[in-house]
Amino acid sequence: MHRPLSSANRSLLLRRPSSSDSHFLTTATHGARKSGYMVSHDPAWNKMKLTTQITMGFLLLATALVQAQENHKHTLDAKGNRAGHATDKAKAKSARSIVGLNAPSFFTKDSDGKAVSLKDLLKRPTVLVFIEKGCPCCKGGKPYFDRMQRIYGDVANIVGVVFGDVQSANAWAKETKPRFRVLADPKGVIAKSYRATLGLEARIVDPNGKVALSYAGYSAPMLSEVASHISRVAKIKKRKMDTIPAPKQLTSGCELGEHEKAGGQK
């Protein structure tokens, strides 16, 4: 014969557990079993148990969603629209590590098939922006570098470096119609030499051949800083360049070479 529950224990069983009180069920169950109560036959207990299971299910789901967001956060621009991927701190640190080093030389072709080398570009400060074809974030960030080209194109080189061959660079240029020059980077050789792994990473190389600035993405503060640097190196007064609605947080694109890994055109 089962012993009846005391009024205190019955009140405990009828209590609705909160999301922050997940240990309630374990504690209550352990105490009841230790006391010898057959609570599994009590309607109030069954109701509480079902409620707790549902609550814990929602908690597990919420935890999984939060974890997924942590692993794949996105930034928003000033208008509240999704801008791109939030740049990982480790990536940002890695990008900064090459500041002050000699810029790796390269020889490639632009989207029109014309030969170009780093040496050809070093008459001016040069902004190298790495691009992953098929990446919507890179397309979203392109207009800001178009503005930079329009405002500083007479004193600086703004160059997009597309992961892929000349055909890929040409296809990207035709699709997005950038104001700046586009170079091909077959197999990502240039990107690797500059330790760039994400779309929209940028490297600013001064005429002395040194990497002056390096970013694992772009942002409104980054664009302003690059503009200031170009003005300083070119020895001109800083020109007004609107960065709105660029995101305030450093923003990157997809992983370079992702399209090729997925079996896309090289």
> Alpha-carbon torsion 225, 242, 147, 246, what sign?
positive
- Preceding amide of 245 cis, omega within 30: yes
Residue carrying structure tokens 């200031």 = 228
Spatial contact of 185 and 108, defined as CB atoms under 8 Å apart: yes
195-211 burial: b if 16+ Cβ within 10 Å, else e: bbbbbbbbbbbbeeeeb
Q: What's at 83, amino acid-wise?
A: A
Strand partners, 184: 162
Spatial contact of 202 and 215, defined as CB atoms under 8 Å apart: yes
In the chain, where the domains are located: 7-71, 75-261
Structure tokens given for 223: 């664009």
CATH class of 75-261: alpha beta
Residue carrying structure tokens 């699709």 = 175
pTM beyond 0.95, yes or no: no
pLDDT in tens, the chain (266 residues): 444 444 444 444 444 444 444 444 444 444 444 444 444 566 776 777 777 777 776 676 655 444 444 445 999 999 999 999 999 999 999 999 999 999 999 999 999 999 999 999 999 999 999 999 999 999 999 999 999 999 999 999 999 999 999 999 999 999 999 999 999 999 999 999 999 999 999 999 999 999 999 999 999 999 999 999 999 999 999 999 999 999 999 999 999 999 887 765 44
